[in-house]
Amino acid sequence: MQKKRCSVSRRSLIGTLIITTTMAMTLPPKAWAMLAPAQVSGESHQAKDGRMADLKTIQAALESKILRQRLADFKLTPDQINSRLSQLSDVQVHQAAMQIRSVNPGGDAAGFVISVLIIGVLVLLFMWLFHRV
């Protein structure tokens, strides 16, 4: 009788937990809303950060030996390049940076090689594990 009593109390506890959990899962979640503040000064700060990032991309490209030699062939000094770069608008700087990022010569080859090596190591690891089992 004692064993049956534990079984009944255990079943009632499990049933209560199932019902409580089901009811808790069906309640709609509370949503908190907040007005987004208008930050005009923050937008100009973000634009300056974007311009600085784009200028860094352009400067990194200008440090390339091939590009430096090509600009020297056109008789452009680094001072002339920097003065022309400072005259560009934000949109023009962003367009130039986007074009530089899209060209990215040889940048994807390293990622591809690393991916192939990782996949090869994983395949060998799985083959070794399956062979042991």
Give domain status of residue 83, yes or no. Answer: yes
Give domain status of residue 23, yes or no. Answer: no
User: Per-residue pLDDT averaged across 103-124, rounded?
Assistant: 79
Instruction: Look up the domain containing 69 and give its range.
Output: 46-104
How high is the pLDDT of residue 119? 92
Give domain status of residue 126, yes or no. Answer: no
Token reading at 37: 């503040």
Asked whether residue 93 carries a pLDDT value surpassing 70, the answer given is yes
For the chain, the straight-line distance linking the first and the last C-alpha, in angstroms and rounded, comes to: 48
What is the per-residue pLDDT across 26-68, written as a single tens digit (0 to 9) for each?
A: 777 676 666 666 655 555 566 677 888 888 888 888 888 888 8
- The DSSP call for residue 28 is P
Q: What's the domain count of the chain? A: 1
